[in-house]
Structure 1
């Protein structure tokens, strides 16, 4: 009986924390809409949402703040889900989309479009996804040896990422006169993101997150270990392959819209895992809400920290993520 009460209490705690993450998302949205180069009073925000067409802040709210916030929410959720899937697939809390080269593949493809074909911006997302997919297949091929071992995937991913990084650097050297327009993409930023970017990322987010939700049971089986999962009838390699494809879709769509934004896929899943545990039935929604909350919040900080100068959100995420990464590394080594 006591064990049942303990399980019920633990489940209640996890549900409560997911609700807290959802509340943090709401708070993050409100502050993202309110703060920036122009500080908008709460009453004006409420008035605008209530249908008051005479508000002097209506254009700023509807055409600048809201779409930018939506892009941040979707990109944050996409990267968080990609990270939580990859960490489960590789059984490594240090894994994120950049580890297996997905972000670098999408980034190199995106840079090619931005530098060589700037007149074709509508190709950025599909080309970034193609680049990320090709890199994911290459990493899998390099890591394959009578099956896939998580350690081999990570080592292959690091090597491929370094190679692609040199390709990005070469592009910047050969086309230095065109680099200025790609700086925001290189460090990860949300400046000038508006409704067209929402339309680009939204279908990928919906599809990818739905596929991740469908794969919850399979991801839980992977957490039991390969031998146990196979004994329960799971096709372990197929699960790894399909869930990596889902993570690739989500990461590539985020990179194509906000650029090479690091650490979201590392910080969010691990934080959620520390709080709610490894059960993907809880871990996945917790990561979605937390990822969707942390990126708009970081973007708001980036806008107001040195106002009127606006920092790319990637700078803030790097400042938060690097110490966190070192903490995880130290924790794993001790």
Structure 2
């Protein structure tokens, strides 16, 4: 056990793990761009990306596969970071944007725009963020009782998730003639996504990664416990609220471009914590990489396993995530 602890605490070990995840990310990028009806070799992928030769490979990769793989990576990064933040803030391995209601809040506002006000579809990212922040605010209000306790946040989050989920169902019932357009949003899908969606989410990802890394030490202090954190001069409630807003920011950006996609924020941070420990200076970059890897490989599986029929990647994540959630709950 002592050897395991010393290895896990080693800086060299942590950097090696991050390097391995980066290699897996490259492998996922190559696999995602090579697999499909049109098979393309690894070397050819980079040739057509660098040079527009007008070939069929160039058209398929540049217009379809490349933006889809980049989008999968960015969504995976955002959801993984959001989950890592929430698990740290709430000191609970079951915390996840989809489980505690933040994704449902973003989803409800996104669905309202898509179904009720489709002429304002460009406002989906803003609406999703407002919905996510509203959900987070309601959770905090319900959980507040002389302070914030992580257990109360989880319970309040489950209730809020159910409430917003009912709102989504009600909206779809009243506008049943427009349900088809919302199905991919409900199931979380990368189908038909391209460069505009990449451009939408990229700023959120850059800002989210930067803020997470800059303030990682504050989260390291927060997970020591409220009393210890206050003793070290940390404003606990302000820090918890700020990190929750950052998690909502990241989750809402993902919901706005691919819809309701669960379990990435649950599986990834918990797995990284088992491998690297609780130091968020390393957890954040490792979680970001593993989130990107997980979603890229899951999307490749979703679009090739029953080719030419495509499964929404949200269904694949649910199949992976539900047993993982039950395993954590059992423990």
TM-score of the superposition, structure 1-length normalised?
A: 0.95
Structure 1 unmatched runs, 5+: none
Counterpart of 2:212 in structure 1 is: 212
1:82-134 per-residue CA deviation (whole Å, 9 max, x = no partner) reads 00000000100011012331100000001001101112221110110011111
Alignment-derived partner of residue 174 in structure 1: 174
Provide the rounded CA distance (Å) in 1 between the counterparts of 2:324 and 2:39. Answer: 31
In the alignment, which residue of structure 2 is the partner of 1:129? 129
Structure 2's unaligned 5+ residue stretches are none
Q: Does 2:93 match 1:119? A: no
User: Is structure 2 residue 46 aligned with structure 1 residue 57?
Assistant: no
SS at match of 1:119: helix
1:7 positional shift: 6.5
Counterpart Cα distance in 1 of 2:54 and 2:109: 44
Equivalent runs, 1:218-297 vs 2, <5 Å: 218-297=218-297
Matched with 1:106 is: 106
Query: Structure 1 residue 319 and structure 2 residue 315: aligned?
Result: no
Indicate conservation of the 8 Å contact 1:47/1:55, yes or no: no
| Alpha-carbon contact 1:44-1:55 (below 8 Å) kept | no
Distance 1:317 1:9 in 2: 31
- Choose 281-290 or 35-44, whichever is displaced more: 35-44
* Residues in 1 aligned to 2:43 and 2:30: alpha-carbon distance in whole angstroms: 12
C-alpha distance in structure 2 between counterparts of 1:36 and 1:8, whole Å: 39
Range 49-58 or range 64-73, more displaced: 49-58
Residues 140-174 of structure 1: CA deviation (Å, up to 9, x unaligned): 11111111111111111111110111111111111
Following the alignment from structure 1 to structure 2, what is the Cα–Cα distance between the partners of residues 292 and 73?
A: 4
Cα distance between partner residues in 2 of 1:294 and 1:8: 22
How far apart are the structure 2 equivalents of 1:233 and 1:259?
Answer: 39
Q: C-alpha separation between the residues in 1 aligned to 2:9 and 2:111?
A: 49
- What is the root-mean-square deviation of aligned Cα atoms in Å? 1.7
Alignment of 1:8-157 (within 5 A): 10-157=10-157
If the length of structure 2 is used for normalisation, what is the TM-score? 0.96
Q: For residues 28-86 of structure 1, what are the alpha-carbon distances to aligned partners after superposition, in whole Å with 9 as ceiling and x for unaligned?
A: 11111111233223242132134251432111111111111111111100000000000
Q: Distance in 2 between matches of 1:37 and 1:162?
A: 40
- How far is the alpha carbon of 1:328 from its aligned partner? 1.1
Aligned positions, number? 329
Tell me the secondary structure at the aligned position of residue 82 of structure 1.
helix
